[in-house]
Structure 1
Amino acid sequence: MGGCRSAPTREPLLAWRSVDDGVYVGNAGKDAALDRGWLLGHFKDVDDPRHSRAVEIKWGVHPRGDERAQWVEDERRTALLVLISGRFRVDFPGHSVLLQEQGDYVVWGRDIGHSWFAEEESVLLTVRWPSVPGYAVPEMKRGRLPG
């Protein structure tokens, strides 16, 4: 005879954050706002569970008209962009890819130059590997909107 068992009552996970025991629980939108969208990668403090040299993860929120300030060349990483919402164009040498439905994604590998443009306000999840320094856009070029 089976009965219904209720799950144990627990505190909500997002109410708890800890970096002391190697576990970090957060909110992508809130945490991303603190570090230009980046949630995980080599740029996080070494003692933070979100520090990684293997992979970078970004929660990117882009207003309409937002564009990458400069073309990426000499790419040494593989990248995956997944559209959460909006309409987002990724430009490659000789062609462009338009992400327009939730879940649309594009993957590209090493040695593929690229740039991007938010055709509408967009939210994307970006995964890149490995996590290597040297790709940050200089401060004076960040946040540039066309026109």
Structure 2
Amino acid sequence: MRIALFEPEIAGNVGAVLRLCACFGAAVDLIEPMGFLWDDRRVRRAAMDYIDHVSVTRHASFEAFKATIGPARLVLFTTKTDQSAYGFSYRPDDVLIFGKESAGVPAQVSDACQARVRIPMRAEVRSMNLATSAALALGEALRQTGTLPG
């Protein structure tokens, strides 16, 4: 299972997702452009030494990323659907994709995804933090597929 971040803007969020994926054994795809320099010390600070335990692939564009995933299914996490992330059936080779913090993903990216799911939350709030959303999503997907580590 993989986590893909579409044009992430905040280094600390990317660092936290790298640490999350190191702990769960999931690869990370970063779809550029990013809103910070990759060598930004905040990424390393958030990921700490866990960055050495996660497979990270950077892609110059969504099209370049899409060309690498083969038959894997793209599951978009978005606030623009009614399908609950907890009522969805995940597969072990799914790629869980998250949009940029300020704007999500454009329509052409959403249209390229085979599924769109939403983490249920109170109507009074707009959205969760990217790293928190990734943690909830990856935990549920791994639980469902029986692929949680140790």
TM-score, length-normalised on structure 2?
0.22
Larger proportion of helix: 2
Larger proportion of strand: 1
Query: Bigger relative contact order, structure 1 or 2, given CA contacts below 8 A and separation 6+?
Result: 2
TM-score, length-normalised on structure 1?
0.22
